[in-house]
Chains A and B, each alone.
Chain A
């Protein structure tokens, strides 16, 4: 029966996962090699090389994208039925969605939101969508005179609630008038907080709006509760892997080798430390010097650090020291682990060379 198939499938997946874990944990050997053993290129060289990478399988990727074109009319039908389209699968879906919107949604206005950018302002986006709807309704005089009061103020000065009320209004007799809102990476860093997602859900629930979004995070369904999924976004999931590189979407993220580079880590730590007070820098120096002189220990115990800092007149009380330590921990400059006596020890998560470089720079 179907129920059995379904459960067996789920069971099989989880079983395989645990079996794999078991087999790996027993057979795997710990490697002592470090990334620093690789002669990692500098940042500029790496970025230049990345820019020159010749993409693989361009022909096949192009054919894959073309194969989705036959589904465009079906996707439009789903939008007209009141669903929001949610594209997922490996590869950048930016070009695919924009091509779909440009070729198949010409009857409707389309606004594009780049959710992968940190600086997205949801209020501005909603105002922009309201403005676009207003423009598409106004020339046809579709807004009844008695409802004009809602839009007597300029759109930009209205509240979000006013915009939502306008976007949800029934301005036309036929319910085939909507603004398509393309959201690249609805799970992007600029849109990921719950308030923004609530706003987007409210936007999606408006009768004159249809959302066409893409998602890449494997945990993206956790962003939404059942109300948002079932009654507001009303998602129609579409699995559309494209295997296209995330060139634009990944622009604001560092490259992994560049990120893991010792120089890069030291540089980041230096920038943070330079923004702190001289006393804080000196406290950090005490931790670093202890780590360099006692490489085999777990780190400096907090009590020893306090004594050392008091001797050097860097802190006057435990409270002051704690405030410095909080600052360090927030910026991940230091971490805590326990030594053999069970005491909390502070250590700096940087290799010796990077630490030396860092000390020389803050000196």
Chain B
């Protein structure tokens, strides 16, 4: 009997156990009576052993158990995939449904992994690069600090290294170098990755680095928690004793003495001030033996160490300040790389972009939640859109046309025919058309992203958020209405309008630089690049001669208006009009393109539901709308009427809503009884021929049933869903949604 094979089913098994034990006991007593003492003794021992085994293996209610062990299905799926890899497109038609399912899931997963790894690598690289300068600065400071510590002197023998007390040094040389890294971000979750990157960066340059979190600086752990963590990270093997001398001997013995020891603490504000003060004082005492350099992440202001730390600890610190990029700059960089440049081909619809923007600005405000939302969107896209697997080969060049066709064959074969029926006939010609459409889609996407980048360059000095610009650029209504070009209409304040207006107001030199940046962005798109080159030529020409030649780009549109403007103004107008032309000619939102569903995720409701559940609201909605969810015919009568056939908990919850915040338990019970009473009456009617005594019994039974139903309905998850937070004093119950299930009252 294996431990894992047994699954306990609560009370049923408990009662069966009791039966077994009772039966065995009876047997033992009978044996004792009839078969003599010796045999009975053995029998009792047997019984005890059995009971012990039962106790060990079938506890009455297990806190955890193994439901099952992994089967070998994983390998079967892989072997099926390998067979399919070697098969020709013609072989796909003969697949059975099980094989198709397996292959389809495999394709989905492969495509998701490829696309998501591209997105993930992109934003990781962006975050690494954005702090590159700050990291270099920190590294230089670490080396300087290390040299300064070395100049204080060093230990000469291993004996000195492991002595429990450090060498007596003067106060001036007990100085601990600390770099305060100002993250300018109260959400420390976004900085975790930054500090990991910093650690990796310093490690790659030969430093010994350890990361400590605020959890290690808790009051309960004390400094021993920090030392344990340091030992664990530096020594890479578990140690029983927690002592700085172990760290000291490691530093001396391993030949690590040529490199500084950097300890990174990522969130100062969340640490316990006392523990951190003690830790700093301790490190400063060991500084000659272990040249530790502290890097501390500060989210708010540089005054925090002064407020948190003990005076003695502050005296030991020699602080230096570093500043990281702001959260908004990081957000813009990530959005640019992932959503505007479309590093993976995966894109989002206008509604999804607006939802993400609102979620970021109104609710969470962290980059990590935006990334999580994107990952959920990506996963949902691959699980719901049949041809989304094509994203796997979407960004490959046109020369791989044949390969794309082959892959599309594979995808279509794995797809359920019913799903594909809406897409028309998928013969060889259809597949060729589809591949051509995909290639065209990719081209359109590239052009769109170049225009957005040009707009963003123009809007940068007006502090325009790229996410706002992205939302406008994805809006099919805004662009189809052609309102962008007509800047004098009511779109003032919009990001695109700001960008165009900014071009009109920039000094000449800056316009020239701006156009240079446009050229860089457009280099991969010949049609746009050619136009930018023309613009550069025209601007140069115009700068020299001032409106003596025709301007090829704008002459068709605003000739008369241009003539009326002064020289400098006309220069800016040329660039602004060029930008407007770019928007009108090339900025077609993806949602306007045929077959955009393959690359574009649109289901904002599903994303919203998966990203952040709302148990408080949803559970109440469930209770109020139980008939709708269960789709039962008996309860869904007149709107809002309570019926006895409804779920007991629903009845009680709806009644509680009718009563208000403070419920009298008696009244509540009576109302509940009144609702359920028809059931009791029906019972009575059916048994009306029976005697009076029987009727009384029925009434009693009905009362029992109602009380039990009421108790059970209220209990509904103990006092955690409904009853939690209820005052039982003086028969009153609090049931306002605010007090429902308050943790503090549990």
Contacts and interface: CB of A to CB of B under 8 A. Distances in A.
Q: Do A and B come from one complex?
A: yes
Interface of A: 1-3, 6, 13, 17, 20-21, 24-25, 28, 30-31, 33-41, 45-46, 49-50, 52-53, 56-57, 60-61, 63-64, 73-74, 76-78, 80-83, 86, 88-92, 98, 101-102, 106-114, 117, 119-121, 124-125, 128, 132, 135-136, 159, 161-162, 174, 176-177, 182, 187, 189-190, 192, 198, 215-222, 225-227, 229-231, 234-239, 241, 243, 245-260, 349
Determine the interface band of chain B, counting residues with CB < 8 A from chain A. Answer: 35 or more
Given A161-B238, A216-B717, 17 more contacts: A31-B664, A41-B703, A41-B704, A46-B711, A49-B707, A53-B705, A90-B626, A106-B68, A107-B73, A109-B66, A117-B63, A217-B615, A226-B368, A243-B647, A253-B715, A255-B711, A258-B711
B216 to A, nearest CB: 12
A119 B615 contact: no
Interface stretch (B22-30, B125-133, B554-562, B724-732): B724-732
B61 to A, nearest CB: 6
A257 B11 contact: no
B328 to A, nearest CB: 17
B622 A89 contact: yes
21 contacts: A31-B664, A35-B669, A52-B708, A56-B645, A64-B629, A76-B105, A81-B375, A83-B379, A107-B70, A117-B63, A177-B70, A216-B717, A217-B741, A218-B740, A231-B192, A235-B613, A243-B626, A245-B716, A250-B716, A251-B61, A253-B719
Contacts of A41: 703-704, 707
A259 B358 contact: no
Contact of B383 (A56, A78, A159): A78
Contacts of A113: 63-64
Interface in B365-421: 366, 368-369, 371-372, 375-376, 379, 382-383
Contacts of B369: 226, 229-230
Nearest to B613: A237
Contacts of A159: 238
Interface in B1-34: 10-11
B242 interface: no
B708 A77 contact: no
* In the A-B complex, the 6 residue pairs with the closest CB atoms: A253-B718, A237-B613, A24-B660, A49-B708, A255-B711, A256-B714
Contacts of B604: 2
A218 B741 contact: yes
Interface in B728-746: 728-731, 736-737, 740-743, 746
B interface, over-half SS:
helix
Given A60-B631, A110-B66, A231 B368 contact: yes
A245 B712 contact: yes
Contact of A256 (B65, B78, B116, B710): B710
B579 interface: no
A56 B647 contact: yes
A90 B707 contact: no
Given A64-B629, A239-B618, A222 B743 contact: yes
A358 B232 CA distance: 57
Contact of B712 (A53, A88, A234, A238): A53
A252 B718 contact: yes
Chain B CB within 10 Å — which of A60, A135, A176 has the most? A60
A182 B67 contact: yes
Interface in B64-85: 64-71, 73-74, 77-78
Contacts of A83: 375-376, 379
A30 B746 CA distance: 27
B660 A2 contact: no
Contacts of B383: 74, 77-78
* Most chain A CB atoms below 10 A, which of B630, B714, B740, B746: B630
Contacts of A225: 189
Given A83-B379, A237-B610, A250 B717 contact: yes
Contacts of B741: 217-219
Contacts of A102: 67-68
Interface string B481-522: 000000000000000000000000000000000000000000
A159 B351 CA distance: 48
A226 B703 CA distance: 49
B140 to A, nearest CB: 30
A128 B667 CA distance: 50
Contacts of A253: 715, 718-720
